[in-house]
Amino acid sequence: MTVVAPLIGVLALAAVSAAGARIGLTTLFCVVIPYAAILVFLIGVVWRVLSWARRPTPFNITTTCGQQHSLRWIQSSPLENPHTRLGVIGRVLLEVLLFRSLFRNVKHEFVSRENAAPRLAYKASPWLWLGALAFHYSFLVVFVRHYRFFSEPTPRSLQIVEMLDGFFQIGSPTIFVSGFVLLAAATFLLLRRLLLPQLRYISLPVDYFPLFLVIGIALTGILMRYTAFRTDTAAVKNLCIGLMQFKPPAATEPIGAIFFVHLTLVSCLFAYLPYSKLSHMMGVWLSPTRNLIGASRMRRHINPWNYPVAVHTYEEYENEWRDKMKAAGIPVDKE
Ligand code: HEM
């Protein structure tokens, strides 16, 4: 059920939108649902970010992967445990752009030895990192390339991206590598969950649902571009520019059921994003173990909402009880 329920969910979305296309519910599927999805997305983003921003950070959380800067003769680790703002920017950027902590994801297993007890060994495990990089970067390129539907004329910078992505051209239409890489990477991430027993054990429907959504989006997109399911891209562009200007065309030319499925899955992905684990896209920037300066040995971190506490110092205590303490033979600081 863990795998089947999200799969059925995505297939149901596809079936409903294809049926909507058949009975001519163009306004509902091409205007109302995309607008509603953007609204739900924006509300979700604001809610998420505000709720994270409200979380207290009473301590300076220093990650101890590397030595913090302290004494001159101890070598510090400026990227693992940066004590400057520049170091923190470097750490966050390496995390966001290269998924650095994922790169250090190692696999451990028992290696049997002759006449000796098995030994625990650590090995590099770069496949998840490579798959994740391929997935995210291809998604970014595909996403950026779609801007051509929303702009007239297509900006020069976008034409350059299209040219680089389409270097593999062997005919018409130009083959965009990123679309296929996206499909392959999402399928790899899905198979990894399905085929590795340990991973399947900890996977939940919410882990499968976004993968099925992305696979559905990439698959319908590829079908639209390279197969007999081709859509009228001029009509799509007309619709997208209308939506951008809040003037959706009153009667859209028939675009094809596959486009309805593509757009409904995209709308669902957007509406779902801020409320799901996909929000890591925003959260990584606000992660305290990445963005706090490891300078707790150099500077005292004062809890920002500390309120004044009425304390009774030892000095005051002794002043109060000095006579009695002396009479009882208890040593005092001041005679
Ligand atoms: C999360 C956002 C989206 C993703 C990941 C995505 C993915 C894809 C992919 C992989 C393709 C195959 C061709 C290519 O590589 O460009 C494609 C094609 C297509 N997509 Fe999307 N898409 C997204 C959003 C949209 C939106 C918002 C629209 C329109 C409102 C749209 C309309 C189309 C159309 C019309 C095609 C066929 C392109 C052609 O024939 O040249 N897509 N999409």
- Tens of pLDDT, residue by residue over 174-196, are 889 999 999 999 999 999 999 99
User: Both tokens of residue 227?
Assistant: 């197969």
Domain-embedded: residue 333: no
| pLDDT greater than 80 at residue 286 | yes
CA–CA separation, 175 vs 165, rounded Å?
A: 8
Using a 6 Å cutoff on CB, does residue 193 contact ligand 1?
no
Residue 239 near residue 249 (C-beta atoms within 8 A): yes
Q: What's the mean per-residue pLDDT of the chain?
A: 90
Domain-embedded: residue 335: no
The preferred substitution site among 140, 146, 178 for testing ligand 1, maximizing ligand atoms within 8 Å of CB, is 146
The preferred substitution site among 230, 244, 266 for testing ligand 1, maximizing ligand atoms within 8 Å of CB, is 266
CA–CA separation, 140 vs 161, rounded Å?
A: 11
Q: What angle do CA 111, 115, 117 make, to 5 degrees?
A: 45
CA of 214, closest atom in ligand 1: 5
| pLDDT greater than 70 at residue 251 | no
pTM of structure? 0.85
Domain-embedded: residue 332: no
For 59, the domain range is 4-327
Domain-embedded: residue 270: yes
Gyration radius (Cα) of the chain, Å = 29
Domain-embedded: residue 185: yes
Using a 6 Å cutoff on CB, does residue 271 contact ligand 1?
no
Q: Is the dihedral of CA 241, 243, 246, 250 positive or negative?
A: positive
Using a 6 Å cutoff on CB, does residue 176 contact ligand 1?
yes
Using a 6 Å cutoff on CB, does residue 224 contact ligand 1?
yes
pLDDT at 335: 81
Domain-embedded: residue 72: yes
Using a 6 Å cutoff on CB, does residue 100 contact ligand 1?
no
Domain-embedded: residue 334: no
HSE-CB at 81 with a 13 A cutoff on CA atoms is 19
CATH code, domain carrying 135: 1.20.950.20
Using a 6 Å cutoff on CB, does residue 301 contact ligand 1?
no
Domains in the chain, number: 1
At 45-77, the pLDDT tens digits run: 999 999 988 887 777 777 777 888 888 898 988
At 297-323, the pLDDT tens digits run: 888 877 777 788 888 999 999 999 999
> What are the angstrom distances between the C-alpha of 236 and each of 213, 223, 241?
21, 15, 9
